[in-house]
Amino acid sequence: MHEAVSQGAPGGPFVVQNPLIVTQDATRRVFRGDVRVDRGRFSHVGPSAGTEGAEVIDGNGFALVPGFINAHTHVAMSPLRAIADDRDLAKFLETLFAVDAKRTDPDLEAGAAAGIAEMLLSGTTTFLDLYYGEDAIAKACERLGIRGYLGWAVLDPELTTQKGVPLANAREFIGRWKGHDRVHPLVAPQGVYVCGEPTWLGARDLAKETGTLCHYHLSETRREVHEHEAKTGERPAIWLEKIGFLGPGQVAAHGVWLTRREVELLATNRVGVAHCPSSNLKLASGGIAPVVELRAAGATVGLGTDSVASNNGLSMLREMHVAGLLQKHHRWDAGALPAGEILDLATREGARLLGRENDLGSIEVGKQADFLLVRLDHPTMVPARPEAIVSHLAFSAGEEAIDSVFVDGECVVRRRALVREPWEPIRAAAETAAESLWANRPT
């Protein structure tokens, strides 16, 4: 089995024969068949694909699964894993903001490369990021071959440690990277606690002008909500709608402390939500994001890991598991958020959040060939039955079961190893970056 997947000629056609295909298409078909990839897109999904002129990959013993979409993270924070454990969000951010102010482009790129490696090895092929210094993160994306939606963090000028004006920095970043193959730049207001009305509206206008997404934190903690309500008289989502900010093409991270009215406002304005259960649990946010209510109202909900400083990992397999257990336990309903819906959050719905439902999130002809080959003989995938495979992915699969990872038809992980660069130099650079950051961290 482990010799089945080769790198193949870059961009050349290939056929994966006889894997168990978890399509995530409109009917969620799971069947044994062939998948052919031409020029980075699926050209055949079904029985007996033609192999003329194509490399043949033996898919026996594998499940072929759409690549996961991590809908909210801060990937460059990899060297900061465990730097602010066991603190609530306010104290956590106090530590992180102090460390962030000392970061440099080289250590941002080193951290991003380590985080991207972790994501690729655990099956993430696309991620949505919020940070500053995104040029360094973009370079890491291009090095390792992942697809990155990179949001430049924007906040009020008097509250930033960035050089220059954050909105202007975001505009320049978008100008530098718009149109790149796997790097998609965007604007990312940090949150209501550091962004006033002019910053929010400036971010909205920049996103519309440049045709990019807008990504931000929203109602993560009760304190955030109550302090904003005391300041403005309105809860965050209601205030954002009142000032004319909310609209399509936006992804709000967390959404833990939302009222029913706010849920309806987000759905009506076609604002997507990135659910980050592990981070919210670890930071003791207290509430449980109303995922079921958001979906019932028509809002798109994806799944995000948040950063390794608050999670402390980037595994979408683990995030699916936690998301499902959390909703079931909270609602006293074992049928809440079943396995199929959980996998939707990590694939189809993540693509919809990004406005890429026609290109990503499922194994269908014409879509970009982002997929995983998952070992069916791995202990966490037994019994390897078609009717059980979705449950295994949602609740039991270990990262070590992911054998190979493809982005745009390019093999970027082969037999549990990165293809473009070896892990050891990436690890060493991240450890070097961590030394100075940890040495100067606030206690």
Please name each of the domains of the chain with its CATH number: 14-67+359-418 (2.30.40.10), 68-353 (3.20.20.140)
| Residue whose tokens read 């270990």 | 398
Q: Identify the pLDDT of residue 385.
A: 94
Question: Of 165, 92, 93, 177, whose CA–CA distance to 134 is shortest?
Answer: 177
DSSP state of 241: H
Q: What are the distances in angstroms from CA 374 to CA 61, 251, 297, 390? A: 8, 29, 34, 12
**Per-residue confidence band for 3, with pLDDT thresholds at 50, 70 and 90:** very low
What is the average pLDDT across 274-302?
Answer: 95
Amino acid at the residue 185: P
Q: How many other C-beta atoms lie within 10 A of the C-beta of residue 198?
A: 12
Pairwise CA distance, residues 207 & 340, whole Å: 33
- Residue 169: asked if its preceding bond is cis (omega within 30°), the reply is no
Q: Are strands 68-73 and 124-131 parallel, antiparallel or unpaired?
A: parallel
Question: Over the stretch 91-103, which tens digit does the pLDDT of each residue have?
Answer: 888 888 888 778 8
Percent of the chain with pLDDT over 90: 86
DSSP string over 350-396: HHHHTT-TTTSSS--TTSB--EEEEETTSGGG-S--TTTHHHHHHHT
Pairwise CA distance, residues 199 & 185, whole Å: 18
Rounded mean pLDDT of the chain?
A: 94
Pairwise CA distance, residues 132 & 134, whole Å: 5
DSSP state of 294: H
Question: Over the stretch 223-274, which tens digit does the pLDDT of each residue have?
Answer: 999 999 999 999 999 999 999 999 999 999 999 999 999 999 999 999 999 9
Pairwise CA distance, residues 191 & 398, whole Å: 34
| pLDDT surpassing 70 at residue 10 | no
- On the CB side of 391, CA atoms within 13 Å amount to 8
**pTM score:** 0.95
| pLDDT surpassing 50 at residue 312 | yes
What is the average pLDDT across 75-92?
Answer: 87
**Per-residue confidence band for 5, with pLDDT thresholds at 50, 70 and 90:** low
Q: Identify the pLDDT of residue 100.
A: 79
Sign of CA dihedral 90, 136, 162, 127: negative
Of residues 98 and 317, the one with the higher pLDDT is 317
| pLDDT surpassing 80 at residue 7 | no
Question: How many whole angstroms from its chain centre is CA 442?
Answer: 29
Percent of the chain with pLDDT over 70: 98
Question: Over the stretch 95-148, which tens digit does the pLDDT of each residue have?
Answer: 888 887 788 999 999 999 999 999 999 999 999 999 999 999 999 999 999 999
Residue 232, sorted as left (phi over 0), alpha (psi -120 to 50) or beta, turns out to be: alpha
Q: Identify the pLDDT of residue 1.
A: 37
| pLDDT surpassing 80 at residue 442 | no
Q: Identify the pLDDT of residue 89.
A: 78
Contacts of 129 by beta carbon, 8 Å cutoff, 6+ apart: 73, 74, 75, 76, 137, 148, 149, 150, 151
